[in-house]
Structure 1
Amino acid sequence: MLTTGAALVLAALAAGCGDERIGVSDGKRAADESRQPVAKTYWRLHNALANQLYLTLGVGGFTDCADRNIKNSVEYVVDEPLAAKSEKQTEDQFVAMAKSILSTAGWDLKPAGDMLQSAKKNGIKVQLRSFDRTGDDGALVRLVVVGKCTNVGQAKDDIFDAYGGSERDEYRSSSASPIPIPSFLDSDEAP
């Protein structure tokens, strides 16, 4: 009979190896489910910013988790460049305006590094990333929405193969479909 301590150690080891048992189909389902809250958050913020800033196209895809030691896990990221409507607006003014709009939408971003503003809630991270820019091109930042690190087991390679190169989800504003949320193809096909 195992002691309580030995049973806990074995349970912890089994939990660490559990991702190997997540098959491709279940892994794709987990990845798809992980991107839904990211897409919904992105669209809420995109729509809140729409009247004040120039918006382009949101692009979404899977990346390794920030903690690269987490095996067989991915996080879903949507990002979009945002440009000031006034060329006279400084980078600081532009960031302050975007932060104010995002705060009204429920995201109170705080400085989180050089040229980075960030907030996190319910496992979703929202960031504004500034760029060193010279010249009179006007202010530019990137809106980034990052989801939870999600264990996808054996599907990780398939997910990265499907989202390699230029293959990404495109979040295009459209009057026909104002809130599209991309989804995976059938489980027999790549995401």
Structure 2
Amino acid sequence: MKRIPSFKYLFGVADVLILFACFVLSAYILRVDSNVSIIQFITESPLNVAIFFLLALVFIIIFQYNQLYRVNIIITRAAHLAHIIKAFYYGALNVVLLSILIESSNLLDSRYLVFVFALIAIPTLYVVRIEILRLLYIAFSNTSFRRNVIIVGDGKAGKMLATKLMYENPIGLNIIGFVDDDKAINEEIVIGKKVVGNTH
């Protein structure tokens, strides 16, 4: 059985809580009766609350499909944000269906639910996922373990990758060297990094 890394659980639980809270807050903002407290709003609409929680779980599946639990996406701010927005594009259909399901509710105006939810959820996910959890993951990765890597080939792409990892290495990767069939062993490819073997 394939083991799921613990950081995926952390991001997954955080996502469920954030999305559920954003759904409830969005619905509360759009409530028909402004005198209703948030506690009263929740207790008087258990079906809507259950639908919100179910939709939060559906979003987790969409996030997984859009690779938001992959390390290379998590550690890269621009790619991370782009995948969040892409996931929301696909998830918007589910929110529209939700609006139809609760259209007859006398507790809230569901016509603007998608818009309000996106306005609240995207910035919240950006702050929590990208600015907090991502940095915690990077800090934990650097202090807790290092991964050794070998780069296959000494072409332009390999040299650029090695140089990038030497100066911008958020998760503690340690470059052992290069594997190349056309270079002699111990021949230096980039500063301090040599050929350590071949593919044969």
**Is the structural similarity TM-score above 0.5?**
no
* Higher-RCO chain (CA-CA 8 Å, sequence separation at least 6): 1
Structure (1/2) with the larger helix percentage: 2
What TM-score does the superposition give when structure 2 sets the normalisation length? 0.27
What TM-score does the superposition give when structure 1 sets the normalisation length? 0.28
Structure (1/2) with the larger strand percentage: 1
